[in-house]
Amino acid sequence: MATPSALKRISDTIWELPRGYKEGMLVPARIFATEKLIREMDDGVFEQVTNVACLPGIVNYAYCMPDGHWGYGFPIGGMAAFDPKTGVISPGGIGFDINCGMRLLTTNLTLEEVRPRIKELVDMLFYRVPSGVGSTGFLRLSQDEFRDIIEEGSRWCLKRGFAWPEDIELTEERGCFEGADANKVSRKSIERGFDQVGTLGSGNHYCEIQVARPENVFDSELARTFGFTLPNQIAVMFHCGSRGFGHQVATDYLQTFLKVMEPRYGIKVRDRELACAPFNSKEGQDYFAAMKCAANMAFVNRQMILHRIREVFSVVFNRSPEDLGLNMVYDVTHNTAKLEEHTIDGKKTRLLVHRKGATRAFAPGMEGVPARYKEAGQPVIIGGSMETGSYLLAGVKTGGHAFYTTAHGSGRTMSRHQAKRMYRGSSLQHDMEERGIYVRSVTWGGLAEEAGAAYKQIDDVVEATELAGLSKRVLRLLPIGNIKG
Amino acid sequence: MPYRYLGDIATADVAFEATGKSLEEAFTSAAEATLNVMIDEPDRIERKEAVDVELENDDLEMLLFDFLNELVYYKDSRKLLLRVDEIKIEDEGQFRLAAKLYGEKLDPLKHPLGADVKAVTLHRFSLSKSDDGWKATAVLDI
């Protein structure tokens, strides 16, 4: 794919499209990538990141991470910070799956202990963590209880015995976006999501049993801090979000913003998926409070899935979750907007930071990093394809030039359609099993769509974030078992 | 009720083009295209439940957007897989849609599952009239 001729190389890993690239750009656009990755980026990234640069109140640059690819409104991998007084909030900068995110936990088991039980583990996880179209969770909640969940986040799970105190400490925002207001979400959104707590969903959502091989540990000190102390230690990683509830919140406010944006606020956008409202308007604040509800639902969703994973391991190994060391490393979101304080030209400034397919990566010592990781920096969890592996990284002090943000995944390079034409789910499952990865999916087609070759090389993406000073590699995790929606 | 999926529009998601001789047919084709992303073999859906949908919008394209979103809503909230039985769209200053849908609850043992549709998006969303009828294009976030 050809990159735009106006693309300037600022450094080995920073590329810029200047304000003159497109009429209406208020700031330049910056893309973090190696030369290889920028050459592979689809045209949508350049088009969309420069559309974002036209949004009112944007500060410094419109950014895109090394895993950037075409999205709705913002590119996936997009990040933009806005002045809360003059800027906007846009669902297109957050994604339909609000607080889609990653959670990682360790075990004190090794590959040798888990390999013989892998089918049993994956099969039981497959039944106890529902996935796929229309799946419902094991919690039987009333809609009123669901309203409590979306305002309280993970605290709700702690009160009911579904969380350990340290789970809360090790979740971004301690598992609750404060200021969530259940009165700002529609009846429809609650009806779509209230019985989906504890479900994975489908698409690229998954739960994976992984191994940290000694040769894949890049920083053994950080690895130890994050709970990886054994050779060939087993971990569990999963990826999911706020399910139908969050999707409906995003759809509702997309429609609201489309109606008021131009007549009431005089804002024109280049793409309807960039519909927005001033952050300081009634509609903007309503969406912010509703988005927080969806973010909290996603935290609870991942907490309940963690609870199920602990139960499954406990049953299979006939030992308690505590005894098995089923401890959280971290839970990090990659689809949100948050008010954060950052330094611009030496001045502390409050910003509304949109991250869409982009992960917060706070540096050592920053407020918001759990106390036990103060020296290490915030853990960053980057999921790869189900065949190639994933990474644990850490935030670094040099990340300030991207408001401490890094990549979130590997990014697709092949359409689902094409992947389904090229791979057959059943033979892929067989091939993967031969290579030591036992996978279960509710649909063969869905499995084929997620074939490793449909994704960018995650090693390239992660290396680019390190070269760009956005995050640092701690270790690479290889799959041995996977359940897919 | 013809529709086809477009492979090259949305790398991470699903795009389709749906056509019909009338506006009603195009809406029906688009509904079928959306349903067929969520499950295979929609012809196996039986007539067990009925749902009436009434919508209005001053923008015809957004009326289709609302209509497809209803299908996603019923799939999650009532686990219903729905097909169009009757549909009427009228222009009374506002565009009004009245549809009778039929279908049954999703049963993974009966309906081979596809991908869960998170949302209908407005990316390249369009509804246009041509010489031989209407054509809708949509991208679904999955």
* Cα separations in angstroms, A268 against A96, A274, A474, B127: 21, 9, 43, 22
3-class SS shares of chain A: helix, strand, coil, % to 5: 40, 25, 35
pLDDT reading at B1 higher than 70: no
A166: confidence class by pLDDT, cuts 50, 70, 90: very high
Q: With an 8 Å Cβ cutoff, are A202 and B8 in contact?
A: no
The domain in which residue B90 lies consists of 3-141
Determine how many CB atoms are found less than 10 A away from the CB of residue A112. 10
Q: Tell me the three state secondary structure of residue A412.
A: strand
State which residue of chain A sits closest to B15, comparing Cα positions: A417
State which residue of chain A sits closest to B81, comparing Cα positions: A134
Q: With an 8 Å Cβ cutoff, are B114 and A72 in contact?
A: no
Lowest-pLDDT range of A77-86, A198-207, A335-344, A374-383: A198-207
Residues of A annotated as catalytic (active site), given as ranges: 408
Determine which helix (DSSP H) or strand (DSSP E) holds A328, and give its type and residue range.
strand A328-333
B83: confidence class by pLDDT, cuts 50, 70, 90: very high
Determine how many CB atoms are found less than 10 A away from the CB of residue B8. 9
- Please tell me what DSSP assigns to residue A452: G
Q: Is beta strand A29-32 parallel, antiparallel or unpaired with respect to A58-69?
A: parallel
Give A-chain residues touching B8 at CB under 8 angstroms: 415
How many structural domains does chain B have?
1
The whole-number pLDDT of residue A247 equals: 96
Give B-chain residues touching A442 at CB under 8 angstroms: 108, 113
Q: Is beta strand A471-484 parallel, antiparallel or unpaired with respect to A438-441?
A: parallel
A425: confidence class by pLDDT, cuts 50, 70, 90: confident
pLDDT reading at B8 higher than 80: no
Q: Which of residues 26-55 of A touch B (CB under 8 A)?
A: 42
Q: Average per-residue pLDDT in chain A?
A: 95
First to last CA, chain A: 31
A415 or B52, higher pLDDT: B52
Structure tokens at A217: 């540990």
A266: confidence class by pLDDT, cuts 50, 70, 90: very high
Interface of B with A (CB under 8 A): 5-8, 10-14, 38-40, 62, 69, 72-73, 75-77, 79, 106, 108, 112-116, 118-123, 125, 139, 141-142
pLDDT reading at B10 higher than 80: no
Q: What is the ipTM for the molecules in this complex?
A: 0.90
Write the residue in B12, B114, B120 that is nearest to A412 by C-beta.
Answer: B12
Q: With an 8 Å Cβ cutoff, are B122 and A272 in contact?
A: yes
Give A-chain residues touching B127 at CB under 8 angstroms: none
pLDDT reading at B9 higher than 80: no
pLDDT reading at A414 higher than 90: no
Residues in Cβ contact with A293 at an 8 Å cutoff, skipping those fewer than 6 apart: A150, A151, A180, A181, A182, A184, A185, A245, A249
A473: confidence class by pLDDT, cuts 50, 70, 90: very high
Give B-chain residues touching A91 at CB under 8 angstroms: none
Kindly report, residue by residue over A380-404, the tens digit of the pLDDT.
999 998 888 999 999 999 999 999 9
Which of A1, A48, A133 is the best mutation test for B, with the most CBs of B within 10 A? A133
The whole-number pLDDT of residue A265 equals: 98
Q: CA–CA separation, B124 vs B127, rounded Å?
A: 10
Q: With an 8 Å Cβ cutoff, are B122 and A254 in contact?
A: yes
Give A-chain residues touching B125 at CB under 8 angstroms: 272
Q: Which of residues 143-202 of A touch B (CB under 8 A)?
A: 188, 191-193, 196, 201-202
State which residue of chain A sits closest to B112, comparing Cα positions: A443
Give A-chain residues touching B120 at CB under 8 angstroms: 251
Q: Which of residues 65-104 of A touch B (CB under 8 A)?
A: 69-72, 76, 96-97
Q: CA–CA separation, A112 vs A353, rounded Å?
A: 44
State which residue of chain B sits closest to A143, comparing Cα positions: B77
Which of A413, A417, A422 is the best mutation test for B, with the most CBs of B within 10 A? A417
Taken as a whole, chain B contains a residue count of 142
Q: With an 8 Å Cβ cutoff, are B11 and A414 in contact?
A: yes
Q: With an 8 Å Cβ cutoff, are A485 and B116 in contact?
A: yes
CATH number (domain holding residue B24): 3.55.10.10
Q: With an 8 Å Cβ cutoff, are B121 and A204 in contact?
A: no
The whole-number pLDDT of residue B121 equals: 95
pLDDT reading at A212 higher than 80: yes
The whole-number pLDDT of residue A196 equals: 95
A133: confidence class by pLDDT, cuts 50, 70, 90: confident
pTM: 0.96
Lowest-pLDDT range of A42-56, A79-93, B108-122: B108-122
Kindly report, residue by residue over A55-97, the tens digit of the pLDDT.
999 999 999 999 999 999 999 999 999 999 999 999 999 999 9
Q: Which residue has the tokens 């019923």?
A: B74
Q: CA–CA separation, A24 vs A26, rounded Å?
A: 6
Structure tokens at A290: 């509703």
Give B-chain residues touching A202 at CB under 8 angstroms: 113, 115-116, 142
pLDDT reading at B99 higher than 80: yes
Q: Which of residues 394-413 of A touch B (CB under 8 A)?
A: 412-413
The whole-number pLDDT of residue A302 equals: 98
Q: With an 8 Å Cβ cutoff, are B114 and A415 in contact?
A: no
Task: Report DSSP letters for A243-263, one per residue.
Answer: HHHHHHHHHHHHHHHHHHHHH
pLDDT reading at A219 higher than 90: yes
* Residue type at B137 in one-letter notation: T
The b-or-e profile of B15-30 (16+ CB within 10 A means b, else e) is bbbbbbeebbbbbbbb
Write the residue in A76, A97, A442 that is nearest to B118 by C-beta.
Answer: A97
- Percent of all residues in chain A with a pLDDT value above 70, rounded to a whole number: 100
Q: Which residue has the tokens 């080995």?
A: A12
